């Protein structure tokens, strides 16, 4: 398809144009400027009854925005898409992607719009984007809309990840639209405003590679490098270096997911960022009892995106990025050059498991309270996980209770195991390893890296149901407060730290694309 919107396409999106908003963002829209041909200019749909359901005041402040003004009616109109701030240049971005292993040459923003970029107080370039803002030329059969529940899920999981120190896109606001969105049933509609280091994905590269549009592909690689790896700009083999940088970021990211029990649920190549941020909290969930085969997504029948498969999928996705970058590394008709380029990218892809293992072990050492690196550490961590798996022990609480053990009381940890005695030989090894290293501050250090509160599935569902079905945002606010201090073991957060009843977890399913 051509990326020029026709009047007919424009007409299908909305009836009225958004009015100017009096609220000020200082936009500087490099994507629109640098990558003509990579997007379609488009307008958000206007909605009947904007109402602010969530505003991220801390993030607003980070972006240099006035949270107090955004919290008012003008903020609701803006975050619902009815008004647009000066300088916004809304676009639907083009991208492709492998979904569950099958390639779709054209996905793109079917219900999202990038409004533009702002430089935050720290000088970082951040995308401001809508999700659920109506149909676009990329909508295919979809309605372009989003429901309150899934958009508030993005709020909860994104803020939890951020508080856990895991790179993530974040919700700036969620506005109710006053419209019903038809899914399995009718749900209240909402628009999410999402902030991201960028929305460049593996699938963005695939889109232009699949079309043989080398000029845009080249411009895209230069753009990605300027934005995420400026030190690589102008270096020889820059596309290869970009691949290496993305591989390193993804290795670190997925290791962090694994160390908190996070299951993304839909690691399609269009949901893997170049920036290394986690994106698209759809059918994601946190593991309770430790089992690498855990999968919650209702559409993931083969377990492709199961917890334990995530590092393999990350590598698979990086191989797709490598393929998309190859045309920039060698011209198709220069066979020796192609061979050389293939060998170079293969080396990066083959290195990924080691990069990942290193990142995982680094995180595990911290979670075990170890400050030095010793040869047996990986085995110590593996044996610990094997114990958790054998007895289906809650992943989060087990790590957390290591802190009590470090402080001299292993009973709370043993109590998590049906057969606590099975833990003793491992505990003795760990204690010996710790003693050899010394350091009296271990318990406090463990409490600073092993969270007490994660977004447990039953609590997330409870908060989303209250908001979506009963218009009650109080449970969401309470959960959010606990998630924002995940390492504080305060009495008020106890109900958020407790695992769900096992029968509930056994039947738990998450849903995509709602
Ligand atoms: P996701 O599974 O949310 O990452 O989306 C995959 C693709 O489906 C993207 O191209 C989305 O824009 C598109 N999509 C998802 N939901 C909708 C919807 N309700 N309307 C239009 N497009 C959608
Ligand atoms: Mg997506």
pLDDT in tens, 410-423: 999 999 999 999 99
> b/e for 80-96, b at 16 or more Cβ within 10 A?
bbbbbbeebbbbbbbbb
| pLDDT tops 60 at residue 471 | yes
Nearest atom within ligand 1 for CA of residue 143 = 20
Q: Give the confidence band of 16 by pLDDT, cuts at 50, 70, 90.
A: confident
Residue nearest to atom 16 of ligand 1 (CA): 513
The residues facing 83 across adjacent strands are 19
Residues 6+ apart with CB under 8 A from 293: 303, 306, 307, 308
The pLDDT score that the predictor gives to residue 115 is 98
- Give the SS3 label for residue 441: coil
Label residue 125 by pLDDT band (50, 70, 90): very high
At 212-233, the pLDDT tens digits run 999 999 999 999 999 999 999 9
**Contacts of residue 492, Cβ cutoff 8 Å, sequence gap at least 6:** 482
Place of tokens 């060698």: 330
Mean per-residue pLDDT over the chain, rounded: 95
**3 state DSSP class of 143:** coil
- Give the per-residue pLDDT at 6: 39
Instruction: Check residue 509 and give its pLDDT.
Output: 85
Q: Whose CA is nearest to atom 12 of ligand 1?
A: 110
Look at the block and give the residue holding tokens 């899920």. Answer: 153
Residue 145 DSSP label: B
* CA nearest ligand 1 atom 23, residue: 110
pLDDT interval class at 400 (50, 70, 90): very high
Which ligand minimizes its atom distance to the CA of 278?
Answer: 2
- pTM of the entire predicted model: 0.96
**Residue listed under structure tokens 């393929």:** 323
Which residue is listed with tokens 């020029």? 4
Strands (E), 276-353: 285-286
> Is the CB of residue 139 below 6 angstroms from any atom belonging to ligand 1?
yes
Q: How far is the CA of 437 from the centre of ligand 2 (A)?
A: 45
CB-based contacts of 347, cutoff 8 Å, min separation 6: none
Does residue 137 have its Cβ closer than 6 Å to ligand 1?
no
pLDDT > 70? residue 68: yes
Residue pair 278/169 in contact by the 8 Å Cβ criterion? yes
In 10 A of CB 73, how many CB atoms? 10
Is the CB of residue 72 below 6 angstroms from any atom belonging to ligand 1?
no
pLDDT at position 5: 43
Active-site amino acid positions: 270
Which secondary-structure segment (H or E) carries 101? none
DSSP 8-state code for residue 15: S
User: What distance in angstroms lies between residue 270's CA and the mean position of ligand 2's atoms?
Assistant: 6
- From the number of C-beta atoms within 10 Å of its C-beta (0-12, 13-18, 19+), residue 62 rates as middle
In which band, very low, low, confident or very high, does the pLDDT at 514 lie, cut at 50, 70 and 90? low
Phi and psi at 382, nearest 5°, equal: -65, -40
pLDDT confidence of residue 513: 54
Q: Are 47 and 80 in contact (CB under 8 A)?
A: yes
Average pLDDT over residues 189-216: 98
Q: What is the mean pLDDT of residues 82-93?
A: 97
The Cα 335–Cα 332 span in angstroms is 7
Q: SS3 of 500, please? A: coil
CB proximity list for 52: less than 8 A, separation 6 or greater: 71, 75, 76, 79, 173, 174, 175, 176
Say whether 228 sits in a helix, a strand or coil: helix
Q: What is the pLDDT of residues 37-58, one digit of tens each?
A: 999 999 999 999 999 999 999 9
Report whether residue 309 contacts ligand 1, using a CB cutoff of 6 Å.
Answer: no
- Band the pLDDT of 196: cuts 50, 70, 90: very high
> What pLDDT is recorded for position 176?
98
């Amino acid at each position: 398809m051509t990326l020029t919107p026709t009047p007919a396409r424009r007409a299908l999106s909305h009836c009225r144009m958004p009015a100017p908003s009096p609220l000020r963002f200082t936009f500087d829209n490099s994507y629109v400027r640098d990558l003509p041909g990579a997007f379609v200019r488009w307008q958000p749909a206007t909605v009947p009854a904007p109402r602010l359901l969530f505003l991220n005041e801390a993030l607003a402040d980070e972006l240099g925005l006035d949270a107090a003004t955004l919290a008012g009616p003008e903020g609701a109109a803006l975050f619902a898409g009815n008004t647009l701030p000066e300088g916004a240049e809304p676009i639907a971005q083009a991208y492709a992607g492998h979904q569950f292993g099958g390639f779709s040459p054209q996905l793109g923003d079917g219900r999202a719009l990038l409004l533009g970029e702002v430089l935050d107080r720290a000088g970082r370039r951040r995308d401001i984007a809508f999700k659920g803002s109506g149909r676009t030329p990329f909508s295919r059969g979809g309605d372009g809309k989003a429901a309150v529940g899934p958009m508030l899920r993005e709020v909860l999981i994104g803020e939890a990840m951020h508080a856990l120190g895991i790179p993530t896109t974040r919700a700036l606001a969620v506005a109710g639209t006053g419209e019903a969105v038809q899914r399995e049933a009718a749900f209240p509609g909402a628009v999410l405003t999402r902030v991201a280091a960028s929305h460049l994905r593996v699938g963005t590269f695939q889109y232009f590679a699949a079309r043989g549009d080398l000029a845009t592909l080249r411009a895209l690689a230069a753009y990605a490098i300027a934005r995420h790896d400026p030190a690589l700009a102008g270096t020889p083999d820059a596309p290869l270096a970009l691949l290496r940088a993305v591989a390193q970021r993804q290795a670190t990211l997925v290791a962090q997911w694994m160390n908190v029990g996070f299951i993304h649920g839909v690691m399609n190549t269009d949901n893997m960022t170049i920036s290394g941020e986690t994106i698209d909290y759809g059918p994601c969930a946190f593991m309770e009892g430790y089992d690498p085969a855990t999968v919650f997504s209702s559409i993931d029948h083969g377990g492709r995106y199961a917890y334990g498969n995530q590092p393999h999928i990350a590598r698979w996705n990086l191989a797709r990025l490598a393929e998309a970058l190859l045309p920039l590394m060698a011209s198709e008709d220069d066979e020796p050059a192609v061979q050389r380029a293939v060998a170079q990218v293969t080396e990066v892809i083959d290195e990924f498991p080691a990069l990942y293992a290193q990142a995982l072990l680094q995180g595990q050492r911290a979670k075990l309270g170890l400050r030095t690196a010793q040869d047996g550490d990986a085995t110590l961590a593996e044996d610990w996980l094997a114990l958790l798996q054998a007895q289906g022990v809650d992943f989060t609480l087990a790590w957390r209770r290591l802190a009590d053990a470090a402080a001299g009381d292993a009973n709370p940890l043993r109590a998590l195991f049906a057969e606590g005695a099975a833990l003793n030989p491992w505990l003795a090894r760990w204690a010996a390893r710790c003693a050899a290293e010394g350091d009296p501050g271990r318990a406090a250090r463990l409490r600073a890296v092993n969270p007490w509160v994660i977004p447990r599935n039953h609590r997330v569902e409870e908060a989303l149901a209250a908001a979506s079905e009963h218009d009650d945002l109080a449970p969401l606010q309470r959960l959010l407060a606990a998630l924002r201090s995940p390492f504080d073991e305060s009495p008020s957060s106890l109900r958020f730290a407790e695992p769900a009843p096992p029968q509930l977890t056994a039947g738990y399913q998450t849903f995509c694309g709602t």
